Amino acid sequence: MSNKKVLSQTASKSDSFKHGELRQAVLSSVGLAILLGGTFLVTPNFPIIFSSVVGLIQELTKKKIPQSKIKRVLKNLEKKEIIYLQEKDGEVYVNLKGTFTPIILKYSLQPLLELKKKKKKWDGKWFLVFFDVPETQRNKRDYLRNFLRDIGFYPYQQSVYIFPYECEKEIALIKKIVEGAKYTSYIIAEKIENEKTVKTYFGLS
């Protein structure tokens, strides 16, 4: 799958960004490049060519951004020890320092799941994530709820979130990286109660 086919977002004529928006786009692009290139294997040393990051950012934002701005954000992320940059044979490579962080994962999974909603035909199945995080770890439970909601899941119940397309690999990655997600279970359902409400939420006929 080419980078140009990976993302489809609403076009914007403006090249301006809100505070933190370009940083988010850079983090999304770095994470997406690793997920797509590494087939969901979290490989910290997987190098991403700078031009690939630029291309993904443009697809993600539909804005033409000066490379100098992107490099400035990358340098800032390097100072914060989130990534590190290498130059070899005239190419600049971007690498994650360590492993995925939850924030990179969230920004990366959201457009991937959005793509599934746009490209796939719904087969009538529901993909549910159940979690039972202990009360003593309430902050982790709340974080996980917000995380799932932010990447596109529907809050079916307090501790049950739902998506209309297969997402087992994505959930496995969340369980590996997001604290509290180890208490989750992934279930496929043929039928659910209040299906009409959920179908309306996801725009399904």
Can you give the three-state secondary structure of 136-158, one letter per residue? HHHHHHHHHHHHHHHCCCEEEEC
What is the mean pLDDT of the segment spanning 172-199? 93
- CA separation, residue 51 to residues 47, 81, 94, 163 (Å): 12, 21, 10, 33
What is the mean pLDDT of the segment spanning 155-171? 95
Q: Which part of the chain is CATH 1.10.10?
A: 3-96
Amino acid, res. 133: V
Is there a contact between 44 and 92 (Cβ–Cβ < 8 Å)? no
Residue 12's pLDDT is 42
pLDDT at 15 over 60: no
Q: Which part of the chain is CATH 3.30.70.240?
A: 120-202
What is the mean pLDDT of the segment spanning 124-135? 94
CATH placement of domain 3-96:
1.10.10
Give 40 or 204, the one with higher predicted confidence: 204
Helix (H) or strand (E) run with residue 93 in it: strand 91-96
CATH placement of domain 120-202:
3.30.70.240
